[in-house]
Amino acid sequence: AQTVTQSQPEMSVQEAETVTLSCTYDTSESDYYLFWYKQPPSRQMILVIRQEAYKQQNATENRFSVNFQKAAKSFSLKISDSQLGDAAMYFCAYRTALHHSNYQLIWGAGTKLIIKP
């Protein structure tokens, strides 16, 4: 069974600085998708960034980028130039890309990100 681990329950960063949230996962599959979701205090879960396992290039979305290390089964999220609006719970999630399988998202426990003004 696949598992996702977020070892940092809480992180804080000064506004405008850079922070990295860690995520590791365990799987025997070779093809899968990884996601970072953000859930601000207003509750709406929003997709931040996604990565396909077969793509070697790290995904980037504006100030958000990932460091995907497939061999190490690591998928960290880097937020550059942190803004007050980045304060939220961040969840890492895994989903299989194999057919005839269970396609549900496997979630990490989450990391609460605090932005200090």
Partner 1 sequence: DTEVTQTPKHLVMGMTNKKSLKCEQHMGHRAMYWYKQKAKKPPELMFVYSYEKLSINESVPSRFSPECPNSSLLNLHLHALQPEDSALYLCASSQEWGALSYNEQFFGPGTRLTVL
Chain residues that interact with partner 1, rule: CB under 8 A = 33, 35, 42-47, 50, 52, 89, 91, 93, 95-99, 101-105, 107-110, 112
Q: Which of residues 14 and 112 has its CB atom nearest to partner 1 in the complex?
A: 112
Q: Which of residues 16 and 109 has its CB atom nearest to partner 1 in the complex?
A: 109
Shortest reach from residue 104's CB to partner 1, in Å = 5
Contacts of residue 54, Cβ cutoff 8 Å, sequence gap at least 6: 31
Q: Which of residues 50 and 78 has its CB atom nearest to partner 1 in the complex?
A: 50
Q: Which of residues 16 and 45 has its CB atom nearest to partner 1 in the complex?
A: 45
Shortest reach from residue 75's CB to partner 1, in Å = 14
Contacts of residue 110, Cβ cutoff 8 Å, sequence gap at least 6: 6, 9, 39, 89, 90, 91
Q: How far from 97 is each of 52, 100, 104, CA to CA, in Å?
A: 9, 10, 11
Shortest reach from residue 55's CB to partner 1, in Å = 11
| CB neighbour burial string for 39-50, b if at least 16 within 10 angstroms, e if fewer | eeeeeeeeebbe
